[in-house]
Amino acid sequence: MKVLVAGATGAIGRPLVPLLQDAGHDVAALVRSAARADEVRGRGVEPHVCDVFDAASVRDAVAVAAPDVLVHQLTALPALLDVRRYEEQLRPTNRLRAEATPHLMAAAQAAGVRRVVCQSISFLTAPEGPPVQDEDARVYLDAPKAFAAAVAATHAMEQCVLHTDGVEGVVLRYGFFYGPGTAYATDGGTAGEIRARRFPIVGAGGGISSFVHIDDAAAATVLALDGGAPGVYNVCDDEPAPMREWLPAMAAALGARKPLRVPAIIPRLLVGPHVVHFATTLRGNSNARFKRTFGWTPAHPTWRTAFPEVLTG
């Protein structure tokens, strides 16, 4: 199968490309510069240079690549998200999702691409209902301001992918990535904040996070290329957990001191309500639909055992 990857040099693109190659797929990549083209060519990938914000450029590149499946993994996130500048730092990724996605989908449609597999986020659902939600939960479009633009852009991306005539849209809502090349790696930005005790437990720490090892996310993406119905799927591990559980465990795995505890009023006033949401009211996500549909079993089924293995050192 010919697979065209947008975002082949990103956090998930790096482990995804060799998995695609190992599975026997012919891999091509959309890249933004000659330097990136040389990089992916060195990995045995056919490069196609284009400007993803220019519809004609994308259309021409996809037409030449002529893939069976397009994988949309475009993001532009910093190594460490500064919670004080959250809205500003998410803006480039929001633009990719809201503005580049329609160009990718139109190009896929014009080129006769059978399926588009798209990166999304599992943590965009509203803080209501059960502690662990499935894909039918309401999207948090009325989120606090610093997070609202990201939710709106992600929702617009999902709708575009799911409702382009003639193209099967598969949206993968990944949990929080951890492992090599991520913020939650041993040398990642978040790990550094935890070591410096700048990542406290807020309030009761009841916000529930769903994690996924980056290699498991890549393996799930390969499975999503074929079979299974189009639609939205959560891709995360088997054990969503509240901050008060996972954060001390991550600190211990990193050899850091126990995280501090602060009342919710402090980050609400100093940083904003988006931080309090993630720490206190965030809902977890069920991976049951994806596991059932695609026969996926994560190699790292729970962060409890994976953090000590992945983050020690």
Residue 79 maps to a domain: yes
Per-residue pLDDT tens digits for 177-231:
999 999 999 999 999 999 999 999 999 999 999 999 999 999 999 999 999 999 9
Q: What is the CATH number of the domain that holds 87?
A: 3.40.50.720
Residue 16 maps to a domain: yes
Residue 112 maps to a domain: yes
Residue 188 maps to a domain: no
- 256, 181 Cβ separation under 8 angstroms: no
pLDDT, averaged across the chain: 96
Residue 189 maps to a domain: no
Which residue from 306, 186, 189, 190 is spatially nearest to 255, judged by alpha carbons? 186
Residue 14 maps to a domain: yes
Q: Identify the bridge partners of residue 202 per DSSP, sorted by sequence position.
A: 262
Q: What pLDDT is attached to residue 33?
A: 93
Per-residue pLDDT tens digits for 256-304:
999 999 999 999 999 999 999 999 999 999 999 999 999 999 999 999 9
Residue 168 maps to a domain: yes
Per-residue pLDDT tens digits for 222-241:
999 999 999 999 999 999 99
Residue 41 maps to a domain: yes
Contacts of 280 (CB under 8 A, 6+ apart): 202, 203, 204, 205, 206, 207, 243, 264
What's the token pair of residue 246? 């996972």
Say how far apart CA 114 and CA 168 lie, in whole Å.
Answer: 6
Per-residue pLDDT tens digits for 96-109:
999 999 999 999 99
Per-residue pLDDT tens digits for 39-95:
999 999 999 999 999 999 999 999 999 999 999 999 999 878 888 898 999 999 999
Determine the average pLDDT of the residues in 121-136.
98
Residue 6 lies in domain? 2-182+211-237+285-299
CA angle in degrees (0–180, nearest 5) for 130-131-135: 70
Q: Cβ-count burial of 2 within 10 angstroms (0-12 exposed, 13-18 middle, 19+ buried)?
A: middle
pLDDT exceeds 70 at position 120: yes
Q: Output the pTM of the full model.
A: 0.97
The count of structural domains within the chain is: 1
What's the token pair of residue 264? 């919710």
How does residue 313 score in pLDDT terms, banded at 50, 70 and 90? low
Q: What proportion of the chain, given as a percentage, has pLDDT over 70?
A: 100
